[in-house]
Every structure is written in C-alpha cells, then in structure tokens.
Amino acid sequence: MEYFELNKLQSVLTHHEDYQRMIETMEKEVHAFGTNFHDDPSIISRWGHHYFCSKDGGLLIYNRETPTSHQCEICGHVYDNSPLLNGVWVYMYRNEAILNAWKAAFLYRLMNKDIYLDYVKNIIGFYVKHYQAFKLHNKEGAEYDHIEEMSWGCGRIMPQGLNESIFIIRMINALELVKDDIGDGFLENVYYDLFQPCFKLLQPQVDKIHNISCWLNSAIGMMGLFSQDDDMIDFAFCGTFNIRRQIREGVTADGFWYEGSIHYNFFTLEGITNLLLFSSVYDFDFGHEKHIIKRMFLSAYMYSFDNHQLPNPNDGWPNINLKSYSYIYCMAVKVFGEQSKVGNLLKNVLHANHKRGTFPLSKPYYYHNAISLERLLHVPGLVPSGAMPIHHEATNFITSHCAILKHKTINIFCKYGHNGPSHAHPDKMNIEVVIGEDCLSRDLSNSGYGNALCNEWHRMSVSHNTVVVDGKNHVSMEAGECLAFQSNSIDTRVRDVYPGVDYRRKLELFDNGYTDEFQVDSEKEHTYDFFFHVEGELMSKHTTEPASLGYKDNGYQHIRDVQRVIADESMIHLDWKIGSQILTSSIQLNQQALFVGRSPDNPVTSSRTTIIIRAKAKQARYQLKWTLKKEV
C-alpha cells in the first residue's frame, strides 16, 4: 500500500474547489510559520491541560505571536508572564511546528517545490539535531538529567511521553511523504539522533494496559517500521505490554476501549490506527487484532445518538460528535477500503449536516473545521453523497456497561457500570437524553485537568444525572448488571454504589417521551438526592422559597439559586422549552422534597437548571415521566 497516492488527489482536484482553497490556505500557513520558525531546547514545555481559564474553565487562546500573554476565549481575561502558561504555549507551538512540517511535506509531494522540502528539513532537522539537548521533564515540571533517574511519564520535546509519542507519530507521517527526496544522510540523523534515544525514553514507560501505552507502542512501532529497526518492531508488537496485547485486553467485546470514555476510545484509536496504517504501508502483518480495530470503528457509530452527537461518559471533552473524529476514520478507510463498512460509515458521517465538534488539545489539522489533512492524503476521492443508509439501532454494550435506547425521535444513553477507575467519573446510572435534534440533558465530561472546576464539579457525582447519598461521591467503580433490555427499555442494577446502598433504574421510551424510575435501597437511613440537569428553560411558575441543600463540598458548593418548590400535590408538572420543543416533566413526589437550582455547564460561563429531589429514608423511589407536548 502507498501512504499517499498523488494521482488520486490530482484526478479529483480540478472538481473540488474546497480542496483547492484548502491547499492555498496551507501554502500561506506553511510559509508564515516556516519563515519564522524558532525554538530553543533549553525551554521546557508544560502540560496542555493547564491552558484553561481559572475563572470559567474556558480554553486560553494560543497565539503564536504572544508567547507570554494568554487570553481566555470566553471572558477575555489575559494572563501575562505566567511561567506555567508560558510553558504550555511552548507545548502548543511545538504541536503547531510538527503539523506545519507535515503540511509542508504534503505540499512538496503535490507541487515538487524545494521550498517546502526545506521547511521540512528546517523544522524536523532542528528537533533531530537538538533532541538530547531537550531536558527530560514530566507534566508536573520536574526535570531530570538521565533516563535512569526519571519518574514515569517524561518527555523531552513535550511535557510527557504521551505527547512525545504524538509528536513523533506526526513527524513520521511527514517523513513518509518525503523520504525519497530528503536524503539518506538526513534520515540517518533522524534514526541515530532522535529515534534511538526516543526509543530508550519511551520503552520503560510502556508498563500497563492503558491508552498511553498504546500511543507509546505506536510511536515505537512506527519508528521501527520507518527505519526497519527490528528491536523497535519487536518491542511494539511482541513486548510485555505490546500493541496486540493492548488491543486484545483493552478493548471490550463490544468494541469499546475499557476506560469507558468515548473521547479516550477515539484518542486510543488514533494512535493505534497510525500504526495499523504504517503496518499496511510496510507490508507488516499487524495480526488478527486488525479485526478488533475494525470493530471499534463500527461500534462507535452504534453508540452515537441519531443526530451523530456522542455520549460523553467519564473524562473527555464536551460537545463532541462523530465528525470530531472523521480524520481518524480517514486513516481507517485507507486501510479497510472505501467500499468497506468503515468506508460507508465515514461517508455517512461526512454527509451529515452537522458542524464538527472540536477539542482543545493535540488538535488535528482541519481546513475550516471541515476537511482534514488525512482526507486529502488518504481518501481524496471519497464521495460522501454516495453513502448507503445505516440502521442506527438501540444497543446494549454489555461488557462496557452502557446502553443506548432508541424509539422514534427519542434517544437515551445509560451508563450502568465501570471497568475500573482509569479516567472514570463517579456516575453510576447516569443518563443522557436527546430528542430529535435537541438535547434534554448531556454529560459535561470535563474541562482541562489543570482547571479547578474539573475536580470540583465535572468529576463529582452531583454533576451527573444520578442519585447522591449523604452528599458524597459514589465509591463503586465496579461493573453493573443489565436485568432486561429492549430497544425502548432497560432495567439495570448496581449493588454497593456506596457500602450497603444498591441502585436500580428502569427507563422506558414511548412515542412522545419516556418514563424514569430510580430505586435506592439500604438497611440504614440516608439522605438521597436525585439529580437531573436540564439544558433548556424552565417555563412553569410555582411557589418557591429560598433553600439550602446543606452540603458545602463534593460539588454542592457550585449549585446556586436553590429554591424549594412548595407543592401540596403528590404529583407536580414542570414545562420546559428544549430547543424548538416543549416538554413536560411529571414528577411523583413520594413524600420527597423538590428543589430547583442552577449548576455549572461546561464551560462554566453557562449554567443549567438542575432538579434535585430529596428523600430521607432507608429506601427511596423516584418516578418521573417526560412528555413531548409540541413544537414551538
């Protein structure tokens, strides 16, 4: 397999004005960056998760021209001369550098202009020449003189081995485009001065089944395939925690990465698929795990909502959809073929009339957030309008402990268990609800890990649609049980969400709504708070009084404007405007107190209306019915 088939792009280029404009834009970007490229190996990079506003969790704007000034994209606050943020700027700059080297390599192959090859040599050559002058350091900022002294997770160019691997993988993609013209001497320097010391750096960090180990293995394997280094290839494919084992043990039978995050599922796929692609290019047998990778791409479509929005359990980024990861699908389709099921899936994703959801770190290159560099490289002739419809059915992902229900226009994603604590949120029985094109309630995932709201709110049980006991986070990271499943209903149970406290949740969809029954059982009395966070506007007016929920930590401190609803009836009805629809929530108050408050969204400059239903008892049953009344 050829990595890039120039004739395929040339054959469609004259008919694709958007491709032509994209190439013109890349030319300008590469010239602007390449003529002013400058880096310094004495400056260490810092972890990208710190590049968020401390006031609202908004992403800070990376500006290549302002290395010591960092502005929040939401509130506009400017952080000047922060050593930490200046270090993150360095991380961002180096990501931009390697992406521009990759774009320059593509432009060289397309146009055969030496200036683009010179840009590749200058940028990559700098990092090759100075690689071992970059200080060993980790994402916490600790520095080391020797690999033998370092803690786990170090990088040189980048703040950790994970980011180093991403950098190296993108570098190899660039080099693959120009390897026949860049010169044997240059490639020898790459191998001896960068690949070999990088192998020594990454090798001891591959120590468990984890998304990071997948990236490290992929970088090592790609270095080995590109340079024909048997030791690197053997380590990546046959080492103790090799890539084949990662896939066999890390991917559930449902085709979902075990850490339970949809973003990390795709993030892991990105690393793995790069190695799969290069295995195909170099005619290396990846093994039967190739079929598991294919299943992962197919499964991803099945756990999306009908509007292609993705559920967002556990760590990740908010507001992602299938288009967010179309660049990874482009690599997969290069391997599996445009006429494969994966190829048809990509056509469906690209043909859908939805804007691509973006994420802030390790960004791929997209032209106007629509066309990825990978599409030009690998599937330029793909015709999205030729997509064959795919039946988007309800599915219970038994080994991943989650399910998606579908009936008419109503979709509900239910997470009823975990496969361990890595990247997990304490959110047993959380649900996300989409009705047509409108979202009734979504999982916020989280902001950057370095932002206070990540741990104070987004990773708290109270920020999810579940029940919280005595104001504390769930403690269970164990699997749950699915007692019954149909396309429009599910009955799930989890024992010992807290010691001695069991949950059971039943959901049933009907033509214009759904019912939600949540049962909590214990032999001891507790305070149970049922939470549901609504994306829309509460239209109903009821008699209320100011109230306090009584707790000051575990996320409760971020719930404001709490009002207790005064209700004489056992059943209360609330009307909501959700996008273009009016819904009614009918709540059966079984001697329970109903509160309404405001809670942080993601980003936290927005807020959501939160329903809290409180019970003090040994057992509590929450019964809600949501009904679609009309279109606005």
Please indicate, yes or no, whether residues 498 and 616 belong to a single structural domain of this protein.
yes
Query: Is 200 contained in some domain?
Result: no
Answer for the pair 123, 117: CB distance below 8 angstroms, yes or no. no
In this predicted structure, the answer to whether residue 252 has a pLDDT above a threshold of 90 is yes
The CATH number linked to 456 is 2.70.98.70
Query: Is 557 contained in some domain?
Result: yes
Please indicate, yes or no, whether residues 298 and 430 belong to a single structural domain of this protein.
no
Please indicate, yes or no, whether residues 451 and 576 belong to a single structural domain of this protein.
yes
Average pLDDT, the chain: 96
Query: Is 310 contained in some domain?
Result: yes
Q: How far apart are CA 236 and CA 216, in angstroms?
A: 8
212: tokens are: 């990071």
Please indicate, yes or no, whether residues 407 and 343 belong to a single structural domain of this protein.
no
In this predicted structure, the answer to whether residue 165 has a pLDDT above a threshold of 60 is yes
> Residues 2-37, buried b or exposed e (16+ Cβ, 10 A)?
ebbeeeebeeeeeebeebeebbeebbebbbebbeeb
Segment 87-106 shows an average pLDDT of 98
SS3 448: coil
Q: Which of 499, 455, 460 is nearest to 476 (CA)?
A: 499
Q: How far apart are CA 273 and CA 173, in angstroms?
A: 12
Would you state the torsion angle of the CA atoms of residues 393, 398, 399, 405, taken in this order, to the nearest 10 degrees? 40
Listed residues 381, 411, 430: the one ending a domain: 381
Listed residues 347, 381, 415: the one ending a domain: 381
pLDDT the model gives residue 449: 87
| Residues contacting residue 548 through CB under 8 Å, at least 6 positions apart | 562
Query: Is 503 contained in some domain?
Result: yes
Answer for the pair 442, 535: CB distance below 8 angstroms, yes or no. yes
pLDDT the model gives residue 632: 55
Q: How far apart are CA 217 and CA 370, in angstroms?
A: 30
- Lowest-pLDDT range of 115-124, 446-455, 473-482, 576-585: 446-455
Per-residue pLDDT tens over the stretch 495-523: 999 999 999 999 999 999 999 999 999 99
Please indicate, yes or no, whether residues 351 and 403 belong to a single structural domain of this protein.
no
- pLDDT interval class at 488 (50, 70, 90): very high
Query: Is 4 contained in some domain?
Result: no
Q: Which of 582, 488, 570 is nearest to 534 (CA)?
A: 582
CA 112 to centroid of chain Cα atoms: 36
Please indicate, yes or no, whether residues 303 and 433 belong to a single structural domain of this protein.
no
425: tokens are: 């949120």
Please indicate, yes or no, whether residues 403 and 359 belong to a single structural domain of this protein.
no
Query: Is 600 contained in some domain?
Result: yes
**104 vs 56, higher pLDDT:** 104
Q: How far apart are CA 536 and CA 61, in angstroms?
A: 29
SS3 48: helix
| Residues contacting residue 120 through CB under 8 Å, at least 6 positions apart | 101, 104, 105, 108, 174, 175, 178, 182
371: tokens are: 């066309």
User: What sign for the dihedral angle of Cα 320, 321, 323, 329?
Assistant: positive
Q: How far apart are CA 181 and CA 325, in angstroms?
A: 32
Segment 20-28 shows an average pLDDT of 99
In this predicted structure, the answer to whether residue 582 has a pLDDT above a threshold of 60 is yes
- pLDDT interval class at 51 (50, 70, 90): very high
Residue type, 466: T
Written in H, E and C, the secondary structure of 380-401 is CCCCHHHCCCCCCCCEEEHHHC
| Residues contacting residue 281 through CB under 8 Å, at least 6 positions apart | 1, 2, 3, 176, 225
pLDDT the model gives residue 569: 86
Please indicate, yes or no, whether residues 402 and 353 belong to a single structural domain of this protein.
no
Q: Which of 516, 315, 300, 531 is nearest to 414 (CA)?
A: 516
- pLDDT interval class at 448 (50, 70, 90): confident
Q: How far apart are CA 599 and CA 535, in angstroms?
A: 11
pLDDT the model gives residue 177: 99
pLDDT the model gives residue 338: 97
In this predicted structure, the answer to whether residue 54 has a pLDDT above a threshold of 90 is no
pLDDT the model gives residue 82: 97
105: tokens are: 């390599």
Cis peptide before 603 (omega within 30 of 0): yes
Query: Is 319 contained in some domain?
Result: yes
* Rg of the chain, C-alpha, whole Å: 26
How many helices (H) and strands (E) would you count in the chain? 16, 24
Please indicate, yes or no, whether residues 317 and 453 belong to a single structural domain of this protein.
no
Segment 485-495 shows an average pLDDT of 98
Listed residues 381, 414, 444: the one ending a domain: 381
In this predicted structure, the answer to whether residue 464 has a pLDDT above a threshold of 80 is yes
* CA separation, residue 91 to residues 42, 76, 123, 329 (Å): 13, 22, 15, 26
Range of the domain at 622: 395-631
Per-residue pLDDT tens over the stretch 593-619: 999 999 999 987 789 999 999 999 999
DSSP state of 254: T
Please indicate, yes or no, whether residues 374 and 402 belong to a single structural domain of this protein.
no
Give backbone dihedrals phi and psi of 427, rounded to 5 degrees, phi first.
-140, 45
- In DSSP notation, 562-576 reads EEEE--SSSEEEEEE
**151 vs 185, higher pLDDT:** 185
Written in H, E and C, the secondary structure of 590-616 is CCCEEEEEEEECCCCCCEEEEEEEEEE
Q: Which of 188, 220, 23 is nearest to 103 (CA)?
A: 23
Please indicate, yes or no, whether residues 337 and 439 belong to a single structural domain of this protein.
no
Per-residue pLDDT tens over the stretch 209-236: 999 999 999 999 999 999 999 999 999 9
Q: Which of 494, 513, 459, 468 is nearest to 312 (CA)?
A: 459
Q: How far apart are CA 350 and CA 384, in angstroms?
A: 6
- How many CB atoms sit inside 10 A of residue 553's CB? 11
Query: Is 42 contained in some domain?
Result: no
> Residues 71-81, buried b or exposed e (16+ Cβ, 10 A)?
bbebeeeebee
Segment 171-196 shows an average pLDDT of 99
Number of domains in the chain: 2
Please indicate, yes or no, whether residues 599 and 473 belong to a single structural domain of this protein.
yes
- pLDDT interval class at 202 (50, 70, 90): very high
